[in-house]
Amino acid sequence: MDAVLQALADPSRRTMLELLRHRPATAGQLAEALPIARPGVSRHLRVLREVGLVDVRQDAQRRVYSLRPEALVEVDQWLEPYRALWRNRLDALHTEIARGKKERK
Amino acid sequence: MDAVLQALADPSRRTMLELLRHRPATAGQLAEALPIARPGVSRHLRVLREVGLVDVRQDAQRRVYSLRPEALVEVDQWLEPYRALWRNRLDALHTEIARGKKERK
DNA sequence: TGGGTACGTAACAGCAAGGGTACATAGCCC
DNA sequence: GGGCTATGTACCCTTGCTGTTACGTACCCA
């Protein structure tokens, strides 16, 4: 889970996921759509592969990458306790407003 | 939105959020609970503050930091389209399993 | 088998992130 | 005010990431 969140930190990698979200693509296609050169894309793909965010399918000389959205489940799970908080906070806010608030220094 | 995901990449910062999830804490308290020294913690807190993940409340010489879970809403939103994908995929899997069980009997 | 295509990897340069030490600052308490 | 506490900032150093060029590899086709 650590690894996934760390992989998501890079904007280029997020863009790649965004592209793969619509359809699978080869490394070359991804490189064309990105501001960085092919080798860089390859290395990013390696990272994404290692954390399970993408799958590779060999097609002759090509390597077709596809999104593996299940890997993001752990991010969702990491988010879960916080999600509970931000929802409660809205509730609490409403309650506070309803009955007045005590001062805190 | 970019900034939040990038801020979450660092394990120390995630630990800090985890601590703040239970209760607000001063910079010193956070530093004690972490493997890094105070100045490092201060810098991390600055990052978290800048992306809106924490709030500061001045209490005499202390600075009490508290979590601002709303900032994570944008991560949740970023996740949304992918969530749709993995749910569909899981549903399909469950359908497969259910059908497999039926057919096997 | 030779040539062209599509990738990945190695080696290297550049730069930003992250940690530590030392110092500055702000607010209490005597 | 003097000293103590709590914290942020400046500076330096090291490490790791990012991107590039050059090269190696696997595969297809004529």
Express each pLDDT in A63-100 by its tens digit.
999 999 999 999 999 999 999 998 877 677 777 777 66
By C-alpha distance, which of A21, A37, A14 is closest to B75? Answer: A14
Q: What is the pLDDT of residues A32-64, one digit of tens each?
A: 999 999 999 999 999 999 999 999 999 989 999
CA of A59: nucleotide with nearest C1': D27
Could you tell me the pTM of the whole model? 0.84
Q: In chain B, what are the domains?
A: 2-104 (1.10.10.10)
A57 touches strand C (CB under 7 A): no
A4 touches chain B (CB under 8 A): no
How far, in Å, CA of B68 to CA of B71, rounded? 6
Inter-chain CB proximity B90 and A70 less than 8 Å: yes
A62 touches chain B (CB under 8 A): no
How far, in Å, CA of B30 to CA of B22, rounded? 12
